[in-house]
Structure 1
Amino acid sequence: MPSNASAATDHIQDLGAYVSASPSSFHAAHEAGRRLNSAGFTSLDELQPWERGAGKFYVIRDGALIAWVTPENAGPTTGFNILGAHTDSPSFKLKPKPTTGKFGWLQAGVEVYGGPLLNSWLDRELQLAGRLVLRDGTQHLTATGPLLRFPQLAIHLDRGVNDNGLLLSKQQHMNPIFGQGDPANEDLLGLLAERTEGTAVDPADIGGYDVVVADTQAPAVFGAKGEFFASGRLDNLSSTHAGLVALIGHAKAGPEDGPIAVLAAFDHEEIGSNSRSGACGPILEDILTRISDGLGASVSQRRQSLAASFCVSADAGHAVHPNYAERHDPVNRPVLNGGPLLKINANQRYATDAAGAALWARMCAEANVPYQEYVSNNDLPCGSTIGPLTATRLGIRTVDVGIPLLSMHSARELCGVEDAFRLASVAELFYRTAV
């Protein structure tokens, strides 16, 4: 993968297109599958027998996707090189009986999903997006386009807001408006049913739904030299996209030898990963086991292959904030466009150890990509990723990395144009490197 300004610009524009097509985790998995289909990958059904041996394949389970390239000469002890990421982002999720309102306003009943910066969602044009599941079990993606708004209280009615700060009740204040009328005569699910991909569905047939709120503003490059990129859901579609682009690039080379390259894009990371499609669940182990079975591996040989495997857990991290420098480590202060992060935590909130750090340093050097080390301020709690979960569940060597952001968990986050491309460059090298 070439490393130049033009390639970085092309990559960031494609990341913007991927984010725009992915307002929910289900859309993110579906869009990744569409791109993989175009690149000649085969979609596999978990309910059916799978093809054996070499090839390029993917599986979608709910809002998660696992894709892989098995080289021609892979055997029962061949290791897996896994890039782990996640498809979900902090947001709001539609409640049961979602059509509410009063005083002539129509409002949507939502609950907080993960840890969004609540104030960043105010006064923006938002959409509902996700999946509808009909009573017969069929599933339909839906996205409304601009529909909702969390309107902020005018300063005339809250004179002290700039001096005292904005306090938002998740229950009282975070109820978006979507129209005017009597809630008894309106049906928000009807709007979702009208705006499914393909044929509209009958709202009476909807048995369940997983629908979230997403920003509709288009991603944008800006800055004095066009060095910044603003978008929703960079945490963590930036990593999912990097792994996807890298895997497609790796597959084009038609590898005959080397590891089995895997992209594992999990769902539900923002709420703890405890689901059938999350990193705490069985999805990755299920897929790796079936790949090994297709290569004729015994139980012992499968354990050999896992011992030879490595996971790069890719999730966005923090750049130093110029207005809040005291919240960061005084020595390790990553900047935008300074390169991807190597994320380190003594308490294993990140899975990086010395061996992982050395591998990351070597790969970045081979890819001619600079990288930065990130460690949190000792006085502030450290977040976590899918890295420790994958390492604990499967015993695979793991290192935590990601691109630096400002405004993490905002409705609109900020990264550097160069960093996203650099992460994809190292990811493609990782996919083909025996470790």
Structure 2
Amino acid sequence: MSDVQRLLGDRDTYTREFADFVSASPSSYHAAAALAATLEAAGYTAHRETDAWDPVAAGSRGFVVRDGAIIAWHAGADVGPTSAVRILGTHTDSPGFVLKPRPDFTADGWAQAGVEIYGGPLINSWLDRDLGFAGRIVTADGREHLVRTGAVARIPQLAIHLDREANSGLTLDRQRHVQPVLGIAAEGVSVLTLLAEGAERAEGVAAGGLSAEDIVGADVRLFDTQPPGRIGARQEFLASPRLDNLSSTFAGLAALLGSEPAPGTIAMLAAFDHEELGSNSRSGASGPFLEEVLRRLQSGLGATADEAARGLSDSWCISADAGHSVHPNYPEKHDPRVRPLAGRGPMLKVNANQRYASDAHGAALWRRVCDAAGVETQEFVSNNIVPCGSTIGPLTATRIGIRTVDVGVPLLSMHSARELAHLDDLHGLARAATAFFAGA
């Protein structure tokens, strides 16, 4: 990452660096690794969960990775047993397709790979795209390897000549119609061999160092190999995969590196995995990861149970996850009066049924943060007959008991293979997060 103050001060620089981060993060495991590498280069100490951690002191900075999730922190001046924590919560995963066990198969002379659907993607948006495989594999010796291939796969759509009604209503069978093509069966194509070769390229293993037979476990997904790109009449938009929710994750990273925590507080980025599945995993927001890290940091400050509870009662979490801009072709899907628009700032997300955790105090905090950063903001609320999704916000508030407010960048085409955001909103979220960590 270039000079972080220039990054936060210049929208075009921020956009370039964010696009590079998206390209480096085709899976949650890659995202966590990219965050870890940037943090370590900035002087943050890597912690292992199995090791004892040093006591927390003013100015101390660290991070810990759990699978595809990462939590990083920076202790401000005058931290003590009752110090509050300011958490920006995000997630590293995006909806799509995950490789099944025994993935190699052939059909009518084609070599294909077995995949299953992860989360709630717009399936049709994945058709006829140049796709790669990325994630992690584990070899028989227990070692974990990040893997990434080039464009090797495609989910081919049926030609209009063979389905004259496709434009009247496309129906895709989730088993039969979404298995990607890799090659011609007679050529002996194997996705496991491609993964072994991808690990060699990624990690510099000597030629022949890994083979398909060495792979005993895989957490691998498809990804769109087309890089992010600026579009629009004024080049004001970013068209990109995985804006939900790498847009928030990168904003949190830039803010953490570019701010000085308010005295007596700890600034923290908590980027979870598996949000698109409901967060029920050891690295998800419903799991124990954040609670365990907080407990260890409070222990490192010498906090008693009473002091730890007092610190959390004075803490805040901003749950940052992408949201919806009003769609000009489907205006009836949005609230008739609350009409968030791309380019008018990151949104405060509100829901009476606590699908979002925002309340009046959270709204006031978010307004202070945006005012301090000089960032325009707006609200999002669902149309009453179009229920909204949820985020890590209510989960964090429920599990930790910490005050939480939900915000996010407005998108078009959320959960598509390629989403759309305004550059001002992406940059504005990072600036607002910086003010949040600084104590606004």
TM-score in terms of structure 2 length: 0.95
Q: Is the 8 A contact 1:73 1:256 kept in 2?
A: no
> What is the identity, as a one-letter code, of the residue corresponding to 1:411?
A
Q: Which of the numbers 244, 249, 259 marks the counterpart of 1:235?
A: 244
Residue 258 (structure 1) shift: 3.6
* Partner in structure 2 of residue 49 of structure 1: 52
Pairs within 5 Å for 1:36-435: 36-54=39-57, 55-162=60-167, 164-182=168-186, 185-196=188-199, 197-198=202-203, 199=205, 200-250=209-259, 253=260, 255=261, 257-433=263-439
Distance 2:39 2:152 in 1: 31
Distance 1:262 1:145 in 2: 34
> What is the identity, as a one-letter code, of the residue corresponding to 1:174?
V
Q: Is the 8 A contact 2:262 2:438 kept in 1?
A: no
Task: Identify unmatched segments of 5+ residues in structure 2.
Answer: none
Which SS does the other structure have where 2:111 is aligned? Answer: strand
Q: Relative to structure 2, which stretch is displaced further, 47-56 or 240-249?
A: 47-56
> Is the alpha carbon distance of 1:307 and 1:379 closer, same or farther for their aligned partners in structure 2, counting shifts above 3 Å?
same
Task: State the percentage of identical aligned residues.
Answer: 55
Please, what is the CA RMSD of the aligned residues?
1.6
Residue 3 (structure 1) shift: 10
Listed one character per residue, the Cα deviations across residues 290-325 of structure 1 (whole Å, up to 9, x for unaligned) are 111111111111111111110000000000000000
> Is the alpha carbon distance of 1:324 and 1:2 closer, same or farther for their aligned partners in structure 2, counting shifts above 3 Å?
farther
Q: Relative to structure 2, which stretch is displaced further, 17-26 or 192-201?
A: 192-201
Q: Relative to structure 2, which stretch is displaced further, 352-361 or 7-16?
A: 7-16
Q: Relative to structure 2, which stretch is displaced further, 40-49 or 425-434?
A: 425-434
> What is the identity, as a one-letter code, of the residue corresponding to 1:363?
V
Distance 1:283 1:4 in 2: 30
Which SS does the other structure have where 1:123 is aligned? Answer: coil
Equivalent residue pairs, number: 429
Residue 6 (structure 1) shift: 7.2
Q: Is the 8 A contact 1:258 1:432 kept in 2?
A: no
> Is the alpha carbon distance of 1:135 and 1:5 closer, same or farther for their aligned partners in structure 2, counting shifts above 3 Å?
closer
Distance 1:37 1:326 in 2: 47
Distance 2:7 2:269 in 1: 25
Residue 203 (structure 1) shift: 2.4
Distance 1:331 1:2 in 2: 37
Distance 2:210 2:365 in 1: 50
Residue 382 (structure 1) shift: 1.1
Which SS does the other structure have where 2:107 is aligned? Answer: coil
Listed one character per residue, the Cα deviations across residues 30-74 of structure 1 (whole Å, up to 9, x for unaligned) are 000111111111100110011212211000000000000012321
Residue 365 (structure 1) shift: 1.0
Q: Is the 8 A contact 1:258 1:433 kept in 2?
A: no
Distance 2:343 2:100 in 1: 39
Q: Which of the numbers 16, 22, 26 marks the counterpart of 2:25?
A: 22
